[in-house]
Amino acid sequence: MPALLLLVATGCASDGGFREAVSSTLQSVGLEPLQARPALLPVRLHAGDNLNAGDGGRAASLVVRVYQLRATERFEQAAFDVFIDEQRERDVLGDDLVRVTEVLLAPGQRHEFIEPLAADGTHLGVVALFRQPAQTRWRLTFDARRATADGITVGLHGCAMTTSSSTLLTGLASGAHMLSSSRCGTPGR
């Protein structure tokens, strides 16, 4: 045991740092090295009372998907109907897709969770499968690494999403926290 302590102490004094020294010592005695902890991203989904109501319809539950991505180009270019079919979604997103978390929200519900970010998960995409989606407000993309400090809060409404997150990457015609320019579309848009 004193030899193990000497190895750890010697490793700590080197440029590699404590984690590397402990990992090296563990490997030398046949154990697994220490793994870095994943960054944790708080995600908050807040549904309005008019959730998924479209233009004057009745509020209804809504499927929301949270995508951990390596890149955003394919995600941003995919049509709404791509996200309705899971196989097609995987085919279109390809290697950009790290993981998907699916949530079913009821009107007025709040759902909050912690998303552990994979080492190569740099972006977070949110898709709301509205019955009558607003043309540009059914999909949002965020810089996941910058968002870990404050998390991401998304409001879900009649046919559109809002956010006040400064890590939003999606370009919108009006403020991301406003619904005034959002017009509900047709089903499957």
Going from the N-terminus, what domains does the chain have, and what CATH number goes with each? 1-36 (no CATH), 39-163 (2.60.40.4150)
- Using H for helix, E for strand and C for coil, what is the string for 72-87? CHHHHHCCHHHHHCHH
Q: Which two tokens stand for residue 19?
A: 């984690």
What's the N-to-C CA distance of the chain in angstroms? 66
User: Which pLDDT score is estimated for 52?
Assistant: 96
Task: With beta carbons less than 8 A apart as the criterion, state whether 128 and 62 touch.
Answer: yes
H helix count then E strand count, the chain: 5, 8
**Mean pLDDT in residue range 111-140:** 95
- Over the stretch 67-81, which tens digit does the pLDDT of each residue have? 999 999 999 999 999
User: Which pLDDT score is estimated for 182?
Assistant: 62
Residue 16, classed as helix, strand or coil, is: coil
Alpha-carbon distances, residue 156 vs 26, 55, 130, 182 (angstroms): 48, 15, 10, 12
Residue with tokens 């080197």: 14
At residue 54 the predicted structure's pLDDT band, cuts being 50, 70 and 90, is confident
